[in-house]
Structure 1
Amino acid sequence: MGVIQTPSQHSDAKGEAPRRSAYGAGHFAKSLAWTFTDLLLAYYANVHVGLSAHQTGLLLFLSMAYGAGLDPAVAYFLRHAEGSRRRILQIQFLAGVLTAGALLVVFLPPVEGVGSFAYLLAALFFLRTAYAVYDVAQNALVSLLPANEADAHRYVILRQTLSAVARLCVAALSFLIISKTAPMGREAGLVAVIAVLIVATGGWILAWAGPASGGVERRSVPGLRLPRGAGRLLLAAAIHSGPFSMAARMVTFVQGAGADDHTGAALLFALVLGTLMGPIGLGRMRFEDGEFRAALVFTALAVFGGVGFAVAPRSGAPALAACLAYGVGLGGTMTLFWRGMSVAVREHALRTGVRTDLAAFALLTAVLKLASALSGGAVGLALDGFRAGAPATALALGALVTVGGVGFLALFAPRRFAPKLV
């Protein structure tokens, strides 16, 4: 049995700020681990390890598809911890320690006598297994920790902002890695720092595992039935994530003629800076007709920016501006569907007494990872054409981004009369 916590008039606000800080630190460390592999693994495998474009695409697809399948399975096996903040945080800490170790294994030099592809695939399966438990537990906190809907909105904004800050840090570190002359081995040193942060922040948030001070508790039971509206949000996330993440992965492969050219790193930095600006901008917005206008604004930015990058990735300042706009749109739209799921889960728990935090967020991350896996496999098919500047590849990338944006809006439109952004 779990508990649903509802705020009282005497809720201790002083206790909520440290709790949010601990949650934010943990999410930042988790985002560093995810972003480092998500943004830089393809470049590392293709350029530093020497895998072909097709092998790189296959590696991304197999590892991401495996991780996507794990999330619902993890949520099912952890269902008895549903609603129990302390048990979920204990699980998160242990899984975080394993994730830290697995991250180091991925970026260590391959074992002599073992093929690079086989080594990386086995190491990534280890990482995805540990990370799935770590991720499912952490994501459930988005609806478990907040005291009310307004607090849930603050948690989601905090989550997406710190995700973007983590991406910005990785983008800055990419200047040390994305270069024809960068020595192999730098990645291992960088992920060692990330591993230490994962363990340290996991211990910090575990210290805040108790119930909210002053909260009124009522019993709940774990459940697997999705909250109302969650299915549409999952489909919107899938259509959004696949095309958008494929275009983002191409950014690191834009290089000039010089051996120390950092064009790809600069474009990646601009894109990631935009993903930081998106959630911050959304947090300051107020719309009379709910979330749909925000979705329209951010989707338009993502589509125009993504198409602009696909058409002219080596155009200098215009490409930087396109990547920045693309990032702003991407950050804003991602925040919207994470917020939507958090609100749906909390309303479902208050209405029915059934907690679905683990199941709902596990399905959301599974959908995102599966869409990312498909786009990762497509990178292997499009990479050679993109590097060669083939018009057909540019047209295909632009069309994918446009379809993703239009599909996301079409599914998000029924939320036009959803709760206002406050």
Structure 2
Amino acid sequence: MTIALGRSDGWQATAVYGFAHLGKSLFWYGSELLFAFYLTELVGLPASHMGMVLALGLLVSAGIDLVVGGRFASRLSDAGRAARLQFVGSICCAAAFTGVFLGFWVPEGARFAYAIGAGLVFRLAYAVYDLPQNALMALATDDAAGRDRVAATRIWFSGAATLLVALSVGPLIARRGVEGATLYLALALAVAVPAIASASLLAHTLAQSPKGPPPAPIPVPGGPGRPLRLFWLLLCLMVVTSLATPAFSKVEPFFAAYALRSPTWGGMIVTAMALGIILGQPVWRILCGRFSRITTLVAAATLQVVALSAFWLLPMSYPLALAGAAFVFGLGNGGVGMVQWAGFSEVVATAGKGREGLAYAVFTAVSKASLGLGSLGLGVVLSGFDYRGGDNRGLVALMTTIPAVGAVLCLVIAAFWSWADRRSQIKA
């Protein structure tokens, strides 16, 4: 029997994929949550230089994704070979991620250049790790329901990775100097072990799958033009979520250190967000099954708007309430993520045969280019006010208004998606 991910009668292979995604996500969310704070508060770079380091790394990474997607096209069109490639990528990524956190021990005059170089090496290694694992969502699944299950599993383990990294935020922002830098390095070494082990297990699992007959052509609902329309809509959704949503988690360590002045509560807020991502996945999967991905997207984006509005309005003297708002924001965040990854995997599976790697390369390249622009803008804005000197509302504004605008744009995209589907049905 051919092993496939997302089957309702066998969750073992899907769980293995989930753990491999957890390992990869530890690197990703470690970079998303910690790089900005590490570069400014321990390495000592100005906020504008920090923004340049993160933006350059992500923008170059977008190009790297396209090169890797083209260069390894044949490997990224076969599940077994893709799984082996992501194992190699996990080893490279572990070494590069650790290298980033050696920046504290570099002579001061060379730290900016080192941060750029180490960041670029990390982005290259991450692309070799990331793209094959993404492609498996289309290569190793049988149907739309299976892809929904894999997407929900993926986002659940992403939330678990965010939670694990979030638990480290309090201790990390509470320490500076050699002690703090050593903790960052210890974290990098600690996440390397599960990442490599889980990638190895996934490669072994999919290697056991015998070659089956070629799958039957998948009918394209809504006519042959629908996958292309959905491709562009989901690219727009990826731009919005990558450009706007991460502002909450990237600014949160600064908010915890300089607004709340409580590493403990700061850690609890980002932990609550991660718990929202995790606990919401069964609900979003059921909602997708009973209604549609469009309905799920609308519900999730609406939750984000409500949660961010509450976070903006709540006084900082109620950190438990702020954590509750962060939890609801995480719920919505997980729903949007599940829809965009399940939807894109459906497009690739129905219309991307033989081009799976390149399709995911475009998807992640768009994401990273948007993340890079967002990081550059964040560095510029942080340089524009004295967040260390007590400008608390400025930090709150960054955390809430930017993601809220993104959530509203998600609702606009959902409206276009619904309109395009209605037109397809009328023409059919």
Are 1:158 and 2:153 an aligned pair? yes
Letter in 1 for 2:90: G
Q: Which residue of 1 aligns with 2:14?
A: 20
SS of aligned partner of 1:217 = coil
CA displacement 1:352-407 (0-9 Å, x = unmatched)? xx333212222111111111111111221222537243657755664433331222
Q: In the alignment, which of 319, 322, 325 is matched to residue 322 of structure 1?
A: 325
Are 1:99 and 2:98 an aligned pair? no
Q: CA deviation at 1:217?
A: 2.1
Q: CA deviation at 1:253?
A: 0.9
Letter in 2 for 1:63: G
Q: Which residue of 2 aligns with 1:148?
A: 143
SS of aligned partner of 1:19 = helix
SS of aligned partner of 1:244 = coil
Q: In the alignment, which of 170, 190, 196 is matched to residue 199 of structure 1?
A: 196
Kindly, what percent of the aligned residue pairs are identical? 25
Root-mean-square deviation (CA, aligned residues, Å) is 3.0
Q: Distance in 1 between matches of 2:36 and 2:261?
A: 19
Q: Which residue of 1 aligns with 2:372?
A: 373
Name the CA shift for 1:347/1:259 in 2 (closer, same or farther; >3 Å): closer
Q: CA deviation at 1:415?
A: 3.6
Q: Which residue of 1 aligns with 2:220?
A: none
Q: Which residue of 2 aligns with 1:277?
A: 279
Letter in 2 for 1:95: G
Letter in 1 for 2:197: A
Q: Distance in 2 between matches of 1:105 and 1:256?
A: 28
Q: Is the 1:227–1:356 contact (alpha carbons within 8 Å) kept by the matching residues of 2?
A: no
Q: In the alignment, which of 115, 118, 124 is matched to residue 113 of structure 2?
A: 118
Q: Which residue of 1 aligns with 2:341?
A: 338
Q: Distance in 1 between matches of 2:99 and 2:84?
A: 23
Q: Distance in 2 between matches of 1:391 and 1:23?
A: 41
Q: Which residue of 1 aligns with 2:249?
A: 248
Q: CA deviation at 1:6?
A: 11
* TM-score, with structure 2 as normaliser: 0.85
Name the CA shift for 1:110/1:40 in 2 (closer, same or farther; >3 Å): same
Are 1:54 and 2:51 an aligned pair? no
Greater helix content:
2
Q: In the alignment, which of 203, 206, 209 is matched to residue 209 of structure 1?
A: 206
Name the CA shift for 1:377/1:199 in 2 (closer, same or farther; >3 Å): same
Q: Which residue of 2 aligns with 1:363?
A: 362
Q: CA deviation at 1:151?
A: 1.5
Q: Which residue of 2 aligns with 1:34?
A: 28
Letter in 1 for 2:186: G
Q: Distance in 1 between matches of 2:355 and 2:295?
A: 28
Q: Which residue of 2 aligns with 1:235?
A: 236
What residue ranges of structure 1 are gaps of 5+ in the alignment?
none
Q: Distance in 1 between matches of 2:160 and 2:208?
A: 29
Are 1:410 and 2:412 an aligned pair? yes
Aligned residues: 402
Q: CA deviation at 1:213?
A: 5.4
Q: Distance in 2 between matches of 1:380 and 1:193?
A: 29
Q: CA deviation at 1:215?
A: 4.3
Q: Which residue of 2 aligns with 1:76?
A: 70
Q: Is the 1:33–1:103 contact (alpha carbons within 8 Å) kept by the matching residues of 2?
A: yes
Q: Distance in 2 between matches of 1:236 and 1:412?
A: 9
Q: CA deviation at 1:260?
A: 6.2
Q: Which residue of 1 aligns with 2:426?
A: none
Q: Distance in 2 between matches of 1:176 and 1:398?
A: 24
Q: Distance in 2 between matches of 1:196 and 1:107?
A: 16
Q: In the alignment, which of 71, 82, 103 is matched to residue 88 of structure 1?
A: 82
Name the CA shift for 1:17/1:190 in 2 (closer, same or farther; >3 Å): same
What residue ranges of structure 2 are gaps of 5+ in the alignment?
218-224, 423-428
Identify which range, 301-310 or 182-191, moves more after superposition. 301-310
Name the CA shift for 1:395/1:174 in 2 (closer, same or farther; >3 Å): closer
Q: Distance in 2 between matches of 1:26 and 1:250?
A: 28
Q: Distance in 1 between matches of 2:309 and 2:250?
A: 14
Q: In the alignment, which of 188, 198, 201 is matched to residue 185 of structure 2?
A: 188
Q: CA deviation at 1:113?
A: 6.4
Q: Is the 1:246–1:378 contact (alpha carbons within 8 Å) kept by the matching residues of 2?
A: no
Q: Is the 2:3–2:209 contact (alpha carbons within 8 Å) kept by the matching residues of 1?
A: no
